[in-house]
């Protein structure tokens, strides 16, 4: 079975542009989460979606938005890119949305460079 897939793998943008990142969860998984990992740091939580509804949002500005589609795939959008948005963007999926957390499976990430 395929794991979590993300596209594109790498992306170069300039300041002020907009970017869309895509994630396909493991087949049967209904929860998708997004994380930002800056070099040398641990990943930071951005969004969680379950059954197409936003279940959580981290401490990120409104320039960041996301959505989940009926097939449970997800998009992360970032507007008005800043140099500080350069990072590895990771997507994670799990089957459900247990209150105490269930095993998260991560994709390979999208490396975004903002010039």
Partner 1 sequence: KQEVTQIPAALSVPEGENLVLNCSFTDSAIYNLQWFRQDPGKGLTSLLLIQSSQREQTSGRLNASLDKSSGRSTLYIAASQPGDSATYLCAVFYGNNRLAFGKGNQVVVIP
What is residue 38's DSSP assignment?
Answer: -
| Contact predicate 95/31, CB 8 Å | yes
**Distances 58 to 10, 46, 105 between C-alpha atoms, Å:** 24, 5, 19
Shortest distance in whole angstroms from residue 112 CB to partner 1: 13
| Distance between CA atoms of residues 82 and 85, nearest Å | 5
Nearer to partner 1, 41 or 79 (CB): 41
Shortest distance in whole angstroms from residue 41 CB to partner 1: 6
Token pair recorded at residue 44: 């930071």
Nearer to partner 1, 62 or 100 (CB): 100
Shortest distance in whole angstroms from residue 18 CB to partner 1: 24
Nearer to partner 1, 58 or 75 (CB): 58
Binding site for partner 1 (CB under 8 A): 4, 31, 33, 35, 40-45, 48, 50, 55-56, 58, 88, 90, 92, 94, 97-109, 111
Q: In terms of Cα–Cα distance, which of 28, 21, 20 is closest to 6?
A: 21
């Amino acid at each position: 079975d395929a794991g979590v897939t993300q596209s594109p793998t790498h992306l170069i943008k300039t300041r002020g542009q907009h970017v869309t990142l895509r994630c396909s969860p493991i087949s049967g998984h209904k929860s998708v989460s997004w994380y930002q990992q800056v070099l040398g740091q641990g990943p930071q939580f951005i969004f969680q979606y379950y059954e197409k509804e936003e279940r959580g949002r981290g401490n990120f500005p409104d320039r960041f938005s996301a959505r989940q589609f009926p097939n449970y795939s997800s998009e992360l959008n970032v507007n008005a890119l800043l140099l500080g948005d350069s990072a590895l963007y990771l997507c994670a999926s799990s089957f459900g949305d247990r209150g105490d957390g269930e095993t998260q499976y991560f994709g390979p990430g999208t490396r975004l460079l903002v010039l």
